[in-house]
Chains A and B, each alone.
Chain A
Amino acid sequence: MIFELISSSGNAKYAKLKENNQIIELPTILFPKTENDLRSWYIGDLDSKLSISLPLDYFNKIQLSTKEDLVFIGSFLMLKTLNSTIIKEQLVKLKDQILIRLNDVPKGNAAVLIQPTDSIDILKEILEIISSNKIKHVAITNFLPLLSNPREAVEFLGTIKSELPFDTILYLLSPVPHTYLPILTYAGIDAFSNGFPVIATKQSIYLTEYGGLPINEIKEETCFCSACKKLNIVNKSKSKRLSDSDEQLLEEHNNNAFLKKLREIRQAIKKTDLRSYVEQTLYSNAFSAAALRLLDELWTDDLIARTNTWLSTPIYHITNYSYYRPAIKEFQRRIRERYQINESKKIVVIFPCSARKPYSESKSHKLFLNALQAIPYNKQGYIQELIITSPLGVIPRELELVYPAAHYDIPVTGHWDQEEKDLAVNQLVSVLTKANDLDLTVIAHVSNEYVELCQIAEQQLKMTFIYTAENDKPTSFKALTKMKEELLKVLEELPDISYNQDLEKLIPLADYQFGLGIGKTLFQSKLKIKSKPHYNPTIFMEGKPAGIIQESTGQLTLSEITGTKLATQQKYFITVDGDELKGSTVFAVGVLNADPEIRPSDAVIIFNSSGQLKAIGKAIVSGKDMVKMTTGPVAKITQKVKA
Chain B
Amino acid sequence: MTTPIKGIFTEQICQLRKEALHERKARDFSTTIANWIEKDHLLKGPGDALVLILNSQGCSWGLGKEGGCSMCGYSNETSEGITSAHLIAQVKTALEEFTDKKFQAVKIFNSGSFLDESEIPSDAQIAILEMISSLPNVSEIIIESRPEFIIDKNLQKLTKILKNKIQLEIGIGLESSNDSIRINNINKGFLFSDFQKAVSIALKHNVRVKTYLLLKPPLLTEKEAINDTIQSALDAIKAGSRSISINPVNVQTGTFVYHLWQNGLYRSPWYWSLKEVIQVLWKKIEEENLTDKIDRILSDPSGAGTQRGIHNCRQCNNQFIKNLKEYSIHQNPVILDAIECSCYNVWKELLDQEQDSRDLTIHKTEYAMNLLK
Which A residues are within 8 Å of any B CB, using their own CB?
32, 39, 41, 54-55, 57-60, 75, 77, 79-83, 85-86, 89-90, 113, 141-145, 147, 173-177, 179, 193, 195-196, 198-200, 202-205, 207, 211-212, 214, 241, 285
Contacts and interface: CB of A to CB of B under 8 A. Distances in A.
A175 B265 contact: no
Given A174-B357, A174-B361, A214-B369, A142 B265 contact: yes
Contact of B357 (A179, A193, A285): A193
B227 to A, nearest CB: 12
Given A54-B355, A179-B372, A199-B346, A82 B362 contact: no
Contacts of B373: 211, 285
B284 to A, nearest CB: 18
A80 B263 contact: yes
A41 B361 CA distance: 19
Interface centre among A75, A144, A212 (most CB of B within 10 A): A144
Contact of A199 (B356, B361, B365): B365
A34 to B, nearest CB: 9
A500 B358 CA distance: 67
17 contacts: A39-B355, A39-B356, A57-B224, A60-B180, A80-B263, A82-B9, A83-B12, A141-B359, A142-B360, A144-B362, A144-B365, A145-B361, A195-B356, A195-B357, A199-B349, A214-B369, A241-B342
Given A193-B357, A199-B353, 7 more contacts: A79-B265, A80-B265, A85-B11, A144-B264, A144-B362, A147-B364, A199-B365
A203 B368 contact: yes
Nearest to B347: A202
B8 interface: yes
A39 B352 contact: yes
B259 interface: yes
A89 B8 CA distance: 9
A57 B360 CA distance: 12
Contacts of A113: 358
Contacts of B357: 55, 141, 173-175, 193, 195
Contact of A75 (B358, B371, B372): B358
Contacts of A205: 368-369, 372
B353 A41 contact: no
A285 B370 CA distance: 11
B15 to A, nearest CB: 8
Contact of A90 (B8, B260, B371): B8
B144 to A, nearest CB: 28
A86 B12 contact: yes
A175 B362 contact: yes
Contact of B352 (A32, A86, A200): A32
Contacts of B358: 54-55, 57, 75, 113, 141-142, 173
Interface string B1-19: 0000000110110010000
Nearest to B353: A195
Interface in B1-52: 8-9, 11-12, 15
B231 to A, nearest CB: 14
Interface centre among B15, B348, B367, B369 (most CB of A within 10 A): B369
Contact of B359 (A59, A175, A241): A175
Contact of A147 (B265, B356, B371): B371
Given A59-B180, A199-B365, A214-B369, A32 B356 contact: yes
A200 B353 CA distance: 13
Nearest to A113: B358
A77 B372 CA distance: 30
B345 interface: yes
A207 B368 CA distance: 11
Interface of B: 8-9, 11-12, 15, 180, 184-185, 219, 224, 259-260, 262-265, 342, 345-346, 348-350, 352-353, 355-362, 364-365, 367-369, 371-373
B17 to A, nearest CB: 14
Nearest to A58: B219
Contacts of B368: 177, 196, 199-200, 203, 205, 212
A347 B230 CA distance: 87
B356 A173 contact: yes
Nearest to B260: A81
A467 B358 CA distance: 67
Contacts of A85: 11
Interface of chain B: mostly helix, strand, loop or mixed: helix
A640 to B, nearest CB: 48
Given A90-B8, A142-B359, A175 B353 contact: yes
Contacts of A203: 342, 346, 367-369
A242 B355 CA distance: 26
Tell me which of A77, A89, A199, A205 has the highest count of chain B C-beta atoms within 10 A of its own C-beta.
A199
Contacts of B348: 202
Contacts of B224: 57
Contacts of A174: 357, 359, 361-362
B224 to A, nearest CB: 7
A126 B264 CA distance: 22
A59 B176 CA distance: 15
Contacts of A75: 358
Contacts of A200: 368, 372
Contacts of B219: 58, 79
A202 B346 contact: yes
Nearest to A193: B357
Nearest to B365: A199
Contacts of A196: 365, 368, 371
A196 B364 CA distance: 11
A203 B341 CA distance: 11
Contacts of A211: 372-373
Contacts of B359: 141-144, 173-175
Contacts of B262: 81
Contacts of A142: 264-265, 358-361
B353 A86 contact: no
A77 B265 CA distance: 13
B71 to A, nearest CB: 14
A41 B358 CA distance: 13
Contacts of A90: 8
B355 A198 contact: no
A144 B264 CA distance: 8
B219 to A, nearest CB: 7
Contacts of B369: 203, 205, 212, 214
Q: Which of A41, A55, A195, A200 has the largest number of chain B CB atoms within 10 A?
A: A195
A199 to B, nearest CB: 5
A295 to B, nearest CB: 20
A202 B349 contact: yes
Nearest to B350: A199
Contacts of B352: 32, 39
Name the residue among A60, A81, A198 with the largest chain B CB count within 10 angstroms. A81
A75 B367 CA distance: 28
Contacts of B356: 32, 39, 41, 54, 173, 193, 195
Contacts of A89: 8
B349 A198 contact: yes
A202 B352 CA distance: 13
A196 B356 CA distance: 13
A509 B260 CA distance: 56
A214 B180 CA distance: 43
Would you list the 8 A-B pairs with minimal beta carbon distance, nearest first? A173-B357, A145-B264, A144-B364, A212-B372, A144-B361, A211-B372, A81-B259, A202-B345
Contacts of A179: 372
Contacts of A145: 263-265, 361, 364
Nearest to A287: B371
A86 B365 CA distance: 30
Contact of B365 (A39, A59, A175): A175
A70 to B, nearest CB: 14
Instruction: Give the one of A82, A83, A143 with max B CB within 10 A.
Output: A82
A82 B264 contact: no
Contacts of A147: 364, 371
Contacts of A195: 353, 356-357, 362, 365
